[in-house]
Structure 1
Amino acid sequence: MNMKSFIAYILLLASILAFCCAEKEYLFEKTFEAHQGPTIGLAIFSEEKRIITGGIFDKKVKVWNADDHTLIHTFDDHKDQIRGVVALKSGDKRYILSHGFDSVIYIWDLFTFELVHKLDSIGRTIKVFQFEGTDFIVSQEETVSKVWNFVQGGEPIIKIDRPHENGTRLTAVMTSDPMQFATVGNDYIRVWDAKTGKQVAQMRTAGALVYSLIYIKHLDLLLTGDNEGFIYSWYWKVGRPFQIYKDFSGFFPLELLVIPNSNILIAAGFGKKQIFYFDVTKQNQKPLYQKQGHINEIWRLVYLEGTGYFYSSSADYSTKKWTICKTKYDYYNLETHTCIENCVEKDESRQICLSTQSGEKVEEESDEVVIKLPFMDDLNEEL
């Protein structure tokens, strides 16, 4: 081997090693197989350190320890496919809710595992959300939206028949005072008053099929992801969207997650197996960075409150724990809602970084986030 070939070989070897090392920085922290099949339901009780999963085919709901991922309990009451699980809070009580295609919503006590209520629906239940700080939930069936008191049980308090003429695809809870929620069909996003059942607002979706719908509390915005690969942010009070991302290579954003009080938007779904990161306040952007670890479609993303971690579940049977930051060596500072490199001194009780490797002191900032969106001047004039 001549000198030129030897140098080329060394450079190639160095490139491979650098790639491998770089890849490790992006990998998930932990993984476990929750079900003997795809995991479609995923919810977290952060303070109690419990993970709730639902298996689409095995029809089981399982309770896991969030520290070591050991199995604590299994519920097998469902007679058909499970479509989702929800972590409910009421005072010092904690409840597990599960729903699916068997027309029953089950509610169990997290601590005793006893069945508390069975709520009967008339069809497949697509989504269920709790109005934060209340004892009320909204459930979305194919042709009707219902508001329930999950502590009292019984019949729904409000029923909205046919929120959308051609069927309702998704729903998302918005504000709790007043209680409002959003639904989406083939053509429109509509906002409803949960106490009266009356429509509050309406926005046209330009005909694309919306696969994901979430509400960002600290920005008062709705986010959608559709089957054309677009992610839109909606200022719902005036019905004005702006485009965060577009992808024409077959990516469908099935799940969107915004880390509370931050600009970090995480997206995953069909067509690509990566998890993408964006700045939720910027238009027409490329991903800030992306991570890969699943070998099949990603269905659910859930944030572990008060930490720098979130979980994902996938059609590849696995549930994975990820760091919010770009690499697993960065430290997610809860008070500034930023990722910090080379943190050497930490306050674990507050989950903040006090100083970095260079000796630089990290200034503490307020939790309050004030963001000027690109179109806010126009909106203020309209309002």
Structure 2
Amino acid sequence: MLWLLIHDQSALLGKGGVAQEVSRLYYGWYGILRHGSFPSGDHLWQYPPGAGAVLLSPALLPGLTYFQAFVTLTLLTDAVIALVLARAGTRPGRSLRGAALWIGGLPLLLHIPLARYDVQVTAFAVVSLLTLSRSRRASGVFAALGALVKVWPALTLLGTPRGRTTRETWAAAVLTTVTLLALLTALFRDPFDFLRQQDGRGVQIESLGGTALMLARRAGWPGRTRYQYGAVELVGPYVHAVALCSLALTALAFALLLLWRLRARRWTPATPYDAALAAVLLFTVTSRVISPQYMVWLIGLAAVCLTSQHTAQRPVAPLVLAATAVSTVEFPAYYGEVIGSTWAGCALITVRNGLLVSAAVMSFTRLWCSGRPTPEQPGNPGGERPGPDTPGRGRATISAVFHPRGRASLNR
């Protein structure tokens, strides 16, 4: 990946366009952030205020250029994720498949992960999920840190077992969010300006709606592409309607996830992992933007799922890897074909998004089925296993087994 980043001037590697995200855009924002202000009025700045801390982090390595320091910190974060996954995989009842998926899957994106800060965001989500079984409060803190950088890590809290676990985890996340937002507001000017830049977003060519419009373009639709809001978007008739459809699908995805949480009666050690992957997949495929670096999130969450022997998402991981591989072909190698809506470009983006939709549907279906109680393992309404959080429940069950009338009741 480093070698590719050094030689990214090749036409197949984007003619330097991938690395310019750091050396120009991020570095420009870094200069503004250093003076105590967020990029106010910049329509490209669409990130929560926590992203500013990540973009300022290269200052921790003063002996390097901004680009060198950013890549170095990204590599270190990559190593942390691999080590955390490997450590989790060595515990009883766990697997090293998760670490293997991360180590082998991330290079499918070539050098893109090293020139974006999505690896850092994914690290917060991975650590949040893997610390849940040991420290609920720490899990909530890491989820909040990730959400302050790029929102989606908040979805890692969706699958926390109901009861004390959810209360403590979510309370820690809320407290961390409020505290850090207050701190950022005190230290920087315009920390919430990013909210004003969201309304103008259109339909990116790599999104699901963009795929439909690209195919319509081949059939005679008069729309065209334009670079705006940091992405190549489609403009023309019906684009606004497609964007509204994407928002409606996102709302539907949220409703389905909420319905799952309300109806689920069985939690396994892997349920929080599975719920996070299903949620991010659903929100990704219904988004108006599906950039290649989004695949970093999905690889990381799929890797977390595979650390557990109880996961229901094992068949989803190959689909995520396949979609990642096609994403690399689509960008940067043949991005010109996609922008021009040629048949080759349409075919690539249709295959990639088809794989993502298949993964999202399979992921949510398997999550839904895993939440149903089985005759051998009836679920409990609270979603938690008997233990320290549910005092007396285990003792009541044991006494019922050994008491003669209790046995008769159980037999009935």
Query: If the TM-score is normalised by the length of the shorter chain, which range does it land in?
Result: under 0.3
Which is strand-richer, 1 or 2? Answer: 1
Where relative contact order (Cα < 8 A, 6+ residues apart) is larger, the structure is 2
Greater helix content: 2
Give the TM-score taking structure 1 as reference length: 0.24
Structure 2 length normalisation: TM-score?
0.23
